[in-house]
Amino acid sequence: MDTLKIGHYIQHLRKAAGLTQKELAEKLSISFQAVSKWENGDALPDTGLLLELCDILNTTADKLLNGGAVAASERRLMKLEDVVTGFQHIEDIGRRFGEDCTFFTGLVEGVNEKMNLDLLTYLKDPTTREVLYAEVLIQGILSGRTVDMDEIEAGLHNKKMVETIRRYLVKANGV
């Protein structure tokens, strides 16, 4: 663990919350010197304080202990290629089972109802299709996953969607 990176992240979040070291310390019933040690990278927060600290700073323990970065494991990285393939598989179900098959119509109706849209119409138009891709990526980001913005920029034509995804990713990373 990079204690200096963690310390800088704690300081960034504390300042963003409009708190002094003393005010944060008082909320946690500790000394302001302890907060100073965290921010200087000389010490880490006690595990007994970690969840309360994260609540106060509006972050997660995972992000805090990674210095603000979402852990970038393969399990957490969403690839645009996988999202595109996922939608292709939905269309394949319609072709293979028949668009009048109860399984396929139930799948489509469920998405339509949950998302308040017409999935099959969105999939037919390249622009709205990209909106669907962006929505899935944004939902993933909100669930703690991450994306490679270089891949997103190369793969999506809709620059507004690219910037929207970027904003969500920046916000999720607390920067």
Residue 72 lies in a domain: no
Residues 56 and 89 in one domain: no
pLDDT of 173 reads 78
Residues 17 and 94 in one domain: no
Residue 71 lies in a domain: no
Instruction: Encode pLDDT of 59-106 as tens digits.
Output: 888 888 888 875 544 448 999 999 999 999 999 999 999 999 999 999
Domain count, the chain: 2
Residues 162 and 93 in one domain: yes
Instruction: Encode pLDDT of 22-57 as tens digits.
Output: 999 999 999 999 999 999 999 999 988 999 999 999
How far is Cα 74 from Cα 95, in angstroms, rounded to an integer?
Answer: 31
How far is Cα 67 from Cα 173, in angstroms, rounded to an integer?
Answer: 10
Query: Which residue segment(s) compose the domain that 156 sits in?
Result: 77-172
Residues 61 and 91 in one domain: no
Q: Which residues, 6 or more positions from 171, have their beta carbon under 8 angstroms from its beta carbon?
A: none
**CATH value at residue 59:** 1.10.260.40
